[in-house]
């Protein structure tokens, strides 16, 4: 059901402009994300695989918003956030024992996870001790501000129902895109750190500088 009052034209223009900026941002990140990979360890291999999962959620949100499927796009926010946190935790916080259990072969027909990971709060607490400080701070602030809305979309709460009745404002969608881009930048930086490839040195900073308008206010990464 459409909103009683349509959003102002300048708000729609701002969303359209943000979508275009997001596509340019993705275009600049794409060569880095597709850089040849020679993972130096199993930990890095698993980290990179989860980075790819996070990237899929990031791209999907923009495509869904452009297609007008806003409820689904917002439901992906939590999946994107958790994939980003877990990829960072895999590199900086997971124990070797946990990795052994996580990577163990699954029996044919097995449905249960070989090992469940810690919850988001536990991962953030570990990252506060083991990862660069800005990562846990930034991710913790995002969780504090958005966790309840994210839960509502994932678990069929009132927010998606209200959105289906009243619609989603362009300003809300702009914020979703900016936050998704911030997590994508973290993912790209994690890839650079994990691969330890000198050819990637200095690549993140110029991209971050060139696309500040479509990113949330944030400090490093500038690798």
Structure tokens at 206: 């110029």
Task: Enumerate residues 6+ apart whose C-beta is below 8 A from 131.
Answer: 88, 92, 93
Q: Tally DSSP H helices, then E strands, for the chain.
A: 9, 0
d(CA 176, CA 178): 6
* Residue pLDDT, tens place only, 200-217: 999 999 999 999 999 997
Give the largest Cα separation in the chain, rounded. 56
CA dist 87 → 11, 43, 70 (Å)? 34, 10, 26
pTM confidence score: 0.90
pLDDT tens track for 157-190: 999 999 888 888 999 999 999 999 999 999 999 9
Task: Name the stretches of the chain with pLDDT < 70.
Answer: 1-9, 218-223
Q: Cα 102–180–54 angle (5° rounding)?
A: 20
């Amino acid at each position: 059901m459409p909103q009683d009052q349509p959003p102002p034209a300048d708000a729609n223009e701002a969303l359209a402009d943000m979508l275009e900026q997001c596509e340019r941002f993705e275009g600049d990140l794409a060569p880095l994300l597709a850089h040849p990979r020679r993972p130096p360890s199993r930990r890095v291999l698993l980290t990179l695989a989860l980075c790819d999962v996070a990237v899929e959620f990031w791209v999907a949100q923009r495509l869904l918003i452009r297609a007008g499927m806003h409820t689904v796009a917002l439901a992906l926010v939590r999946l994107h956030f958790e994939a980003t946190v877990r990829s960072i935790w895999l590199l900086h916080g997971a124990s070797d024992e946990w990795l052994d259990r996580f990577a163990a072969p699954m029996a044919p027909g097995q449905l249960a996870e070989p090992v469940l990971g810690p919850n988001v709060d536990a991962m953030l607490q570990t990252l506060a001790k083991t990862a660069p400080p800005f990562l846990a701070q930034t991710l913790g602030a995002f969780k504090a501000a958005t966790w309840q809305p994210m839960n509502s979309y994932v678990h069929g709460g009132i927010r998606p129902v209200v959105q289906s009745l009243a619609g989603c404002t362009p300003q809300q969608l702009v914020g979703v895109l900016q936050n998704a881009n911030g997590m994508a930048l973290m993912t790209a930086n994690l890839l650079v750190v994990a691969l330890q490839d000198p050819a990637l040195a200095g690549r993140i900073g110029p991209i971050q500088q060139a696309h500040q308008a479509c990113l949330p206010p944030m400090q490093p990464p500038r690798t």
